[in-house]
């Protein structure tokens, strides 16, 4: 038998053994595990490569240039020329490079300024999405009826005043002159006080308006606690001593609905927005669990 025939016979004898070995290897769990691991490794490598390629790619397309052109027009009031748009686009690319590098090295991590800016942006988004468009007349009327205190005016007083300055002989002397003047006024005499940069008579002042005239002083307290008619006992303001006579008192009242309709709408929309924002925030917060940990001393 020649050598060729012998070699062929040996090959035919070995082939079934090799096939059997391959079948045993194919059924081996470790082989399956190794193949799956290799496939995962290759897939992960490809995904990571694509991610890095995407991070290293700054796309400048028509949509971006249109947005940059609109921002330019908003800022300067005119559309950019081709040269100006090219400069703006190049500036955008520079900024994007710096932004991505800052992200890559973690400059925003644990940065309170960045944290506050992100919080503010979320608040703006929440506010915009929670703002109702408007309300019906019936809704506004119901809100007005339920909140009369929001659309009321407080007590208003009209009064006359006489002033006595401490510059003439001191504070005690001014008080004494005021007391003497009150006695004479009650007796029907005509009395003239000292010169001062105040009017002798005021009409229909709220408490806030009276405080702008006399300061937040006992004089204002007397205006809103004394009955109309007679001259008051001397009271102190930031300027000196006064005698006050209440000439008219307008009690608090609720303003008519038609008169305050713009205020009713503004108040309703503000409250509705606040409720909607709270509800949206509560739904966001429900996604998180607050774990309170008390550290030992």
Q: What is the pLDDT of residues 258-291, one digit of tens each?
A: 999 999 999 998 888 888 888 888 888 888 877 7
What does the pLDDT read at residue 226?
84
- Among 28-42, 101-115, 139-153, 174-188, the minimum mean pLDDT is found in 28-42
211 burial via Cβ count (<10 Å: 0-12, 13-18, 19+): middle
Mean model confidence pLDDT for the chain:
82
Whether 10 shows a pLDDT value over 90: the answer reads no
What does the pLDDT read at residue 11?
47
- Across residues 156-170, what is the average pLDDT? 89
CB 144 within 8 Å of CB 232: no
**184/193 Cα distance (integer angstroms):** 12
Q: Are strands 156-164 and 241-250 parallel, antiparallel or unpaired?
A: antiparallel
- Among 103-117, 144-158, 164-178, the minimum mean pLDDT is found in 103-117
* Lookup: tokens for 114: 């960045």
* Lookup: tokens for 59: 């796309």
Which of 234, 228, 225, 222 has its CA nearest to residue 194? 234
**97/110 Cα distance (integer angstroms):** 21
CB atoms within 10 A of CB 159: 24
Report the predicted TM-score, pTM, of the whole model to 2 decimal places.
0.47
Whether 31 shows a pLDDT value over 70: the answer reads no
Q: How does residue 6 score in pLDDT terms, banded at 50, 70 and 90?
A: very low
Tens of pLDDT, residues 39-96: 776 676 666 666 666 667 888 888 888 999 999 988 898 999 999 999 999 898 888 8
CB 248 within 8 Å of CB 228: yes
Whether 205 shows a pLDDT value over 60: the answer reads yes
């Amino acid at each position: 038998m020649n050598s060729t025939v012998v070699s062929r016979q040996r090959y035919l004898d070995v082939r079934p053994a090799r096939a059997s070995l391959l079948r045993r290897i194919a059924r081996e769990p470790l082989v399956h595990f190794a193949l799956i691991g290799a496939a995962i490794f290759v897939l992960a490598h490809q995904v990571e490569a694509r991610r890095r390629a995407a991070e290293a790619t700054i796309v400048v397309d028509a949509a971006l240039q249109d947005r940059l052109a609109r921002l330019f027009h908003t800022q300067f009031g005119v559309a950019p020329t081709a040269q100006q748009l090219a400069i703006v686009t190049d500036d955008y690319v520079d900024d994007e490079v710096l932004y991505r590098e800052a992200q890559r090295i973690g400059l925003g991590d644990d940065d309170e300024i960045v944290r506050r800016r992100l919080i503010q942006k979320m608040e703006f988004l929440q506010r915009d999405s929670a703002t109702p468009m408007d309300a019906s007349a019936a809704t506004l009327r119901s809100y007005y009826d339920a909140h009369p205190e929001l659309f009321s005016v407080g007590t208003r007083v009209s009064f006359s005043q006489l002033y006595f300055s401490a510059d003439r002989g001191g504070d005690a002397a001014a008080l004494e002159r005021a007391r003497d003047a009150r006695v004479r006024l009650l007796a029907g005499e005509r009395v003239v006080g000292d010169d001062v940069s105040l009017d002798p008579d005021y009409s229909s002042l709220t408490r806030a308006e009276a405080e702008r005239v006399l300061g937040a002083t006992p004089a204002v307290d007397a205006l809103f606690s004394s009955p109309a008619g007679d001259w008051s006992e001397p009271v102190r303001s930031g300027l000196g001593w006064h005698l006050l006579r209440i000439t008219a008192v307008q009690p608090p009242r609720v303003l008519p609905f038609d008169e305050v309709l713009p205020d009713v709408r503004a108040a309703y929309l503000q409250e509705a927005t606040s409720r909607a924002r709270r509800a949206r925030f509560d739904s966001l917060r429900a996604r998180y669990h607050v774990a309170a940990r008390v550290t030992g001393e």
